[in-house]
Structure 1
Amino acid sequence: MIMTRHVRRAALVLLSVIMMLGATPASAHTNPVKESTPRSGSVVTDLDEIMITFTDGIRPDFATFTVRSADGVDHPLGVPQLSEGNAVVRLKPTSALSDGLYRVGYQIVFDDGHSAAGVVQFEISADGTARAGEWPADDDAGPTRPEPERLDVTGVVPWLIGGAVVLAVVFVVIMLKVRGSGENQQSTR
């Protein structure tokens, strides 16, 4: 009877761990941009600042931003200004942007360790009329500084896996002790 109680307890703990592992999200930050100014796809008459609000705070040391025009020219930016828990980024071009189609490329790492990359596209037109046409198909306007591939070791999943391994070891130790005490009880009878 003692062994049955311990087995049930251990099975319940193991089942709980398995359920927690199954409940982790398959992909975090699938839509990393909450909003932007200018909005992606919009036409603006002038531009002093670009503001991107991400769904969560980002790590400033692992964030890269570029502004590229449709003719392939990268336009320099000042130092990004972050606010609201590092979720809002303000970018100021160092010189005026003329009429045309632009993309702001970003490559970021969120506070939870997940990375994201993408673009916000807009057009500048002095009279507010869209004229630029399509973005060249061979240019994704991504950040100019390549980021190395890296394993996400700061997220929750590695900790859950480590916890499951520890619990599995504890389960085995308990089972061996219970089994050993059950054999001792039978031999004394």
Structure 2
Amino acid sequence: MTHAITLRFRCLLVALTAVLMTIGSLAAAAPAHAHDELVSTDPEADSTVEVLPEELVLTFSGILSTEEGATEVAVTDSAGESVADGDPEVVETTVTQPLVGDSTGAITVQWKVVSSDGHPISGEFSFDVATPTPSPTPTASSAEPDPTPTETVAPSPTATPEPSSEVSSAVPWVIGGIVALAVIAAVVYLVASRRRTPPTDPGTHAPGPDSAGPSER
């Protein structure tokens, strides 16, 4: 009786071990048959870049199908306009999508590929392009001073007033008046001198030596 129970227990243990080994084998083989997935993106999802890059790169966990129409990538800006430039290029595990334009704001990426096991997978993500900050307009106070030096006008020396034309024209008359007065004075002087000199009587003779009286003879 005891031997039979022991035998049954051993058989049950062997069967349980076989089941566990089968489950472990299936679990180990599962990753090899799992669908490929998106591993990384450049630009990264939910990141912010300064300008729209020239291309978008998607990297997957396995080699992708290169059949026509197997890979599709749509890239649109915040206005819904496409910024994709041509068809994507597939090289093994990467998908490269050229971009064009200078869009800013939210950029939305929708992708679809066919994984190595032939199963199509798809997804969506977005990133932002920063809006450039406008340069401040310089105000009057912050404007640079005018480099042109201001010319300082030196005060002109006080000009000596020139004699008026009236004074200039009166000078000859003054000189002529002085000369006339001098002439008149000379004439008056000569006239006055002649009046003071007594006239000589022609009948009167000066007494000579013969005019002495008889007593002297």
Which protein has the bigger strand share?
Answer: 1
Q: TM-score under structure 2 normalisation?
A: 0.43
Structure number, greater radius of gyration: 2
- More relative contact order in 1 or in 2 (CA 8 Å, sep 6+)? 1
Q: TM-score under structure 1 normalisation?
A: 0.49
